[in-house]
Amino acid sequence: MAGKSGLEKLDIGALSPEQQEKLRQFKINTRIANEKYLRSHPEVEVLMSNFLRDVFFKRPVNIREFAADHFTDPDLPAAICSKLQGNFH
Dist CA 17 CA 27 (whole Å): 15
Residue 4 lies in a domain: no
User: Would 55 be classed as within a structural domain?
Assistant: yes
Check residue 15 and report its DSSP letter.
S
pTM: 0.65
- Please indicate, yes or no, if residue 23 is contained in any of the structural domains: no
- For residue 68, tell me if it sits in a domain: yes
67 falls within a domain: yes
Task: Answer yes or no: is 89 within a domain.
Answer: no
Within a domain: 59: yes
Residue 84 near residue 42, CB atoms below 8 Å: yes
- Is residue 36 one of the residues assigned to a domain? yes
Provide the domain count of the chain: 1
Distance CA 23, CA 1 (A): 29
Domain assignment of residue 57, given as a range: 29-84
Helix (H) or strand (E) holding 48: helix 42-58
Those residues with Cβ within 8 angstroms of residue 66's Cβ, 6 or more apart along the chain or in another chain: 54, 55, 58, 60
pLDDT tens, position by position, for the chain (89 residues)? 555 665 566 666 788 889 989 999 999 999 999 999 999 999 999 999 999 999 999 999 999 999 999 999 999 999 999 998 886 54
